[in-house]
Amino acid sequence: MTTILDTMPEVDQEAVRIVLDLDGDRRRSIAFVAASARQFIALAARLRLPEAATSRLDEDAVGTDIASALLFLIAERSSDAFEAARDIQAAGEPDPIRRALILAIGRLARGRLQDIIGMGLESERLVATDSFGYAADLLFRELLSGVILLAQDGLGLVDGDGIAAAVERFDNVRRLAVDTEAEDAPAPAGLRAISAFPGPHHLAGLLLRAAGALRDSAGANARARRRQV
């Protein structure tokens, strides 16, 4: 039986398995392999087209540099995430919401949480003139609010569970980005057609798993501190 994974290149299959949590027990090792592959792809693309430095983030896709940094976070390889985030570039992105989100993800991967909480969500304008782009910007703004929550939680500035609140936002974007009732979207034989905002949907899945990894890491650090007392 043909599955959606059978129609994808191997490097994309790894990311999909992580986003859908199909291999929860092996998530970290799979995430590391997928992150390393994307880091190599991003480097090759930058060498081929050095003038195209801005990280891609739009309705259709997430740049390999952004995906690589988040996948390293999912793999709980913070030093690798830090290095991968060096390639994330927001300069040149004309859309304020997307530029802010690119910056926030780069800062998250590098542990610059203080710089994230200083970002003004309400000050970032929605400038897309077409309905599709405007809807995507609304989804990206919701993801940005989730990243800010992760930073606030990491700095102990949230009353309650900031990671849970962020996860709720990421889950909401994944749900809103997909229309499983669409009849006009092309799909491989034997698969149900899906109309989606692939960029926001993919990014929401990566951020969702990254938030889980941050929670696991925080829990492990707390247990280690208790053992030292």
3-state secondary structure of 129: coil
Q: How confident is the model at residue 1 (pLDDT cuts 50, 70, 90)?
A: very low
For residue 196, the surrounding DSSP H or E stretch is strand 195-196
For residue 178, the surrounding DSSP H or E stretch is strand 178-179
Please state, in angstroms and rounded to a whole number, the distance separating the CA atoms of residues 185 and 193.
5
- What are the backbone dihedrals phi and psi of residue 171, each rounded to the nearest 5 degrees, phi first? -65, -40
> 227, 39 in Cβ contact below 8 A?
no
User: Given a cut of 60, is residue 77 above it in pLDDT?
Assistant: yes
pLDDT of the residue at 226:
47
The chain-wide mean pLDDT, for the chain, equals: 79
pLDDT digits (tens, 9 = 90+) for 23-42: 556 777 788 888 788 777 77
More confident residue, 148 or 32: 148
Q: Longest Cα pair distance anywhere in the chain, in angstroms?
A: 61
Please state, in angstroms and rounded to a whole number, the distance separating the CA atoms of residues 89 and 100.
11
Please state, in angstroms and rounded to a whole number, the distance separating the CA atoms of residues 90 and 31.
24
Q: How confident is the model at residue 109 (pLDDT cuts 50, 70, 90)?
A: very high
For residue 179, the surrounding DSSP H or E stretch is strand 178-179
**Dihedral sign (CA 7, 174, 61, 147):** negative
Instruction: Please tell me the pTM assigned to this model.
Output: 0.79
Q: What share of the chain is helix, strand, coil (3-state, %, to 5)?
A: 65, 5, 30
Give residue limits of the domains in the chain: 4-224
